[in-house]
Structure 1
Amino acid sequence: MYMSKLSFHPVWEHKLTNEQKKEFMEILNSLPPSEIDLEAVPVRGKYKKNGGVVATVLLRNSSHEPLDIKCVKVEITDHENEVIATESFAPDLHIEADSAMPWSFVFAKESVQKRSVDSINWKLNIYLPEIG
């Protein structure tokens, strides 16, 4: 079985319990090898009381090069590929080669286009700006 490394943003490193870290590792170990360099694997999602959305994902860098994510467009779609929410973020993350990092994207109410979709059906698409 192929195993990636799991790393945590410093804020997450101090806030997560060992049990939560273990849960992320189990999710990572259960995933098949990825065909794409950057993949956002949904872990959990929820609608906030204020109308926004929170999507927690494992950002998986399957390339052999480290990846710096300064800005990114994230889109949540449902099982019919209809957009639930879309927003741009500036997370300033560094993900080592062949590694994964948990992260939460918090979408503002204004970016949510579809409400009350069961988060078990969510898919996240990550769009990095073209380089060069």
Structure 2
Amino acid sequence: MQKLEFEPSWDKTISSNDRQKIETIFLQTRKFNNHPIQLTPLWQAFNHKGELLVTVLIHNFTLHSYSFQNTKLNYIVNNEILVEHFFTLPSLSIQEERSMPWTFIFPKENMTYTLPFENGHLEIV
């Protein structure tokens, strides 16, 4: 059975409003849908450096832990890849049958489009 977990630093700092949003989305998306690793969009924003921050709920529906080791992610809006980047996150391991929120930060120099970045999704390549 799928369980929601928060990385310890998230667990200490997340607002109650954001926690509630994540828990609601988890309840709506916690069923396996033919993708062993699913990235459910939560929100996106730009930081003061112009980097794109994409927060997702990572669902690991497998029976083994999952980590990001030189994993290419594309951020897609309206079937257009707006930005891509390789991620290695040594401190992040999502245990089997677990879901966890995470924010991926795409460097400004990787962005080639000026299209709106709203309503996109991440895809593991």
Length-normalised TM-score, structure 1: 0.82
Q: In the alignment, is residue 10 of structure 1 matched against residue 23 of structure 2?
A: no
Verify the 8 A CA contact 1:4 1:28 in the aligned structure 2.
no
For the residues of structure 2 that align with 1:18 and 1:47, how far apart are their CA atoms? Answer: 22
Task: Return the letter of the residue paired with 1:72.
Answer: T
Calculate the aligned-residue CA RMSD, in Å. 1.8
- How big is the shift at 1:15? 0.9
Indicate if the aligned counterparts of 1:4 and 1:98 stay in contact, CA closer than 8 A: yes
Q: Distance in 1 between matches of 2:118 and 2:99?
A: 21
User: Structure 1 residues 84, 27: closer, same or farther in 2, change over 3 A?
Assistant: same
Q: Displacement of 1:51 after TM fit?
A: 2.9
2:62 is paired with a residue whose SS is coil
Structure 1: unaligned runs, 5 residues or longer? 128-132
Matched position secondary structure for 1:70: coil
> Which residue does the alignment assign to 2:28?
30
Cα deviation code 1:53-80 (max 9, x no counterpart): 110001110112222333321110111x
Of 67-76 and 96-105, deviating more is 67-76
Amino acid of the structure 1 residue aligned with 2:2: S
The 8 Å contact of residues 67 and 94 in structure 2, kept in 1 or not, is answered as yes
**Structure 1 match to 2:19:** 21
What is the TM-score with the length of structure 2 in the denominator? 0.86
Quick check: 30-39 or 52-61, which moved more? 30-39
* Ranges in structure 2 where 5+ consecutive residues have no aligned partner: none
Instruction: Return the alpha-carbon distance in structure 1 between the equivalents of residues 87 and 56 of structure 2.
Output: 14
| Residue pair 1:58, 1:100 contacting (<8 A) in 2 also | yes
CA contact (8 A) 2:67 2:89 kept: no
Alignment of 1:1-132 (within 5 A): 4-31=2-29, 32-79=31-78, 81-92=79-90, 93-120=92-119, 122-127=120-125
| Contact kept? 1:40, 1:59, Cα under 8 Å | yes
Distance change (3 Å), C-alpha of 1:30 and 1:97: same
